[in-house]
Chain A
Amino acid sequence: MPGGRKPSDPVDEFKEQMVALIPSLRAFARGLCGNRDMADDLAQEAMVRAWAARDSFTPGTNFRAWMFMIVRNQFYTTIRKNARMVSWDPEVAERLLVAQPTQHLGIEIADVARALGKLPPEQREMLMLVPAGGLSYEEAAEITGCALGTVKSRIARGRAALTRLIDGEDTEKPESRDDRGPARQARI
């Protein structure tokens, strides 16, 4: 909030919260679809939806989780209509390879980015929310509408699949049918 000014009304407050969250929305959307332009479209569309539904947001509750739910719902709605959304941009990994000095990690970020793009969306989103984004398991469960155990198991499976892919073993086991996809729609 610039200069420590307090928002004068709920609309201003809502707007300021949304502005502050834009980088995280972009990062989460990028993690979901792996393509900069599509991710930014996704984040903007979610912002429009959130703005239209702002009266349904309860002040004092978790605004970030509410916004991430809208981004996520928008993502799954879009990929149902357009499978191209889940095709990670191959240039992403190349840009990361050039941009990031990663020797000290003992792992190439470009390899991880490529592998991430091959994961099922439900595993990728969990990895982007908790290990990458630093959210809690509880917050990830709220956003995805999953039980805590499901959050943890998807993270564990996602990590295992990433390791296999990075090691050159492209043999991931698909999740059972009823453990896939969005379990809950954001209340907007």
Chain B
Amino acid sequence: MKRQLVYYDMGDRGKNGPLTELSSMGKADNKAQNNRRADKSASTFDPLEAALRKIHDRVLSEDIPTEFLDLLDKLDERAGGGKPS
């Protein structure tokens, strides 16, 4: 049997400008996005969009591999530790 996807109007998603200020990136960034999604999900539910979010959020929830932090340390060392001399 062929599955039927039901779509809803995406409303104002994507029209409200950047979701966060630069100073509140990372966890706060994710929180703001989640809050906005919660507001939206109260009025409409789009299964395709929900699936895309899950694919995206699954990566967000992963632990950051140590290589990334090692890389930042190396870059910082190259820049003289980032401290004024």
Chain A residues close to B by CB (< 8 Å): 8-9, 11-12, 15, 17-24, 26-27, 30-31, 40, 43-44, 47-48, 51, 60-65, 96, 99-100, 102, 105-109, 112-113, 116, 127-128, 130-140, 159, 162-163, 166-168
State whether B72 touches A47 (Cβ < 8 A).
Answer: yes
Which residues of chain A are within 8 angstroms of B14 by Cβ–Cβ distance?
Answer: 130, 135-137, 140
State whether A112 touches B59 (Cβ < 8 A).
Answer: no
Q: In the complex, A106 Cα to B49 Cα: how many Å? A: 12
State whether B58 touches A163 (Cβ < 8 A).
Answer: no
State whether A11 touches B58 (Cβ < 8 A).
Answer: no
State whether A99 touches B58 (Cβ < 8 A).
Answer: yes
Nearest CB in chain B: distance from A59 CB, A: 8
A-B contact count (CB 8 A): 157
Which residues of chain A are within 8 angstroms of B71 by Cβ–Cβ distance?
Answer: 44, 47-48
Q: Interface on chain B toward A: helix, strand, loop, or mixed SS?
A: helix
Cross-chain contact of A134 among B26, B36, B46 (Cβ < 8 A)? B36
Q: In the complex, A102 Cα to B58 Cα: how many Å? A: 13
Nearest CB in chain B: distance from A140 CB, A: 8
Which residues of chain A are within 8 angstroms of B49 by Cβ–Cβ distance?
Answer: 131-132
User: Shortest 7 CB-CB distances between A and B: which pairs?
Assistant: A20-B26, A132-B56, A11-B82, A132-B52, A27-B59, A134-B33, A112-B51
Q: Interface on chain A toward B: helix, strand, loop, or mixed SS?
A: helix
State whether A9 touches B82 (Cβ < 8 A).
Answer: yes
Chain B residues close to A by CB (< 8 Å): 2-3, 5-7, 10, 13-19, 22, 25-27, 29-30, 33, 36-37, 46-60, 62, 64-65, 67-69, 71-72, 75-76, 79, 82-84
11 A-B pairs whose Cβ atoms sit less than 8 Å apart in the complex: A9-B83, A60-B22, A96-B58, A99-B58, A107-B5, A107-B48, A107-B50, A131-B53, A133-B33, A136-B15, A163-B5
Nearest CB in chain A: distance from B57 CB, A: 8
Q: In the complex, A140 Cα to B17 Cα: how many Å? A: 10
State whether B52 touches A128 (Cβ < 8 A).
Answer: yes
Cross-chain contact of A31 among B19, B22, B55 (Cβ < 8 A)? B55
State whether A136 touches B47 (Cβ < 8 A).
Answer: no
